[in-house]
Structure 1
Amino acid sequence: MTDTPPRLTHLRDDGSAHMVDVTDKQVTKRTASAQAVLTSRPEVVSAILDGTLPKGEAIGTARIAGIMAAKQTSTLIPLCHPLPLTKLDVDITAEGERVRVVATVTTKGVTGVEMEALTAASVAALTLYDMIKAVDHHAVIGEIMVLAKAGGKSGDWSRA
């Protein structure tokens, strides 16, 4: 048995990048969830929650931004395939100094939606930052990660 390292599908044998051919892949239901976390001061997080920021209501604005971003993923990330998204949820919760954005994206297609979920969560968090930067220049966005995926040839996966 040989221990061959996994091959990156976006690289040709010569090392150049290309868009993966998904022509012959099976259409299946595919779902992915991803998160991004904004950390700020507790009073700023409270203002996010109660809608009293100088720029206005941040949660609804961030949710719409995340949805719009997921739909534009293939124009933002060079080798992503354009996908018909069939469901997209952006949930924003907060506690203490943390605002957690979780995006869940679903499609019926030939490739997964991890990048769409990551894009939605990231842009929603960026929008929250934009909404609070006047009151907290030190806010931080982090913990951007895929939480789970389902469907497709590689099967289901969930972060422990």
Structure 2
Amino acid sequence: MPVRSSPLTPAYVHSVLKSALEHAVREEENPRNVARNVRTGTPRPRRFEPLTADEARKFLTAASGHRLQPLFELALHTGLRKGELLGLRWEDLDLVGGLASIRRTLQRTNSGGLTALPTKTKSSERRIALPTPCLRSLEQHRNRQRKERDPTEPRSKEPR
């Protein structure tokens, strides 16, 4: 089975080869750097195709009852980025006031783990209004988490 590479791989390989040949020219091991004459095209980013309203409705219908349904609803209704969605904690959600505070993102580390980081820019830290369907789903999800929580854990501690 062939290994798939990123669209950026050819440009990266060219860059490394060009640097190595440039070093060989400086060391007078090569008369010239032939990689200078090669132009690599910059790959165009994949075009983002958002779901249509009908596709979104079908997706939410299919996700109905799934444990992550509130997350899916938040994603579709708010447009939050994946890291922002996964970085949310209960302390960030005001279900009475209908607001979410975006304070952090959840990112994968080089070792394969996960880490919570502040948002990339100060302007990314913001408060957003939560639509009514999201509020209902989140409230149900929090109640379900409270019931599933370890009974030996102190009751004052909110699920994260």
Say yes or no: TM over 0.5: no
**Greater share of helix:** 2
Higher normalized contact order (CA 8 Å, seq sep 6+, divided by chain length): 1
**Greater share of strand:** 1
**Aligning the two structures, in what range does the TM-score lie when normalised by the shorter sequence?**
under 0.3
Q: Which has the larger radius of gyration?
A: 2
TM-score by length of 2: 0.22
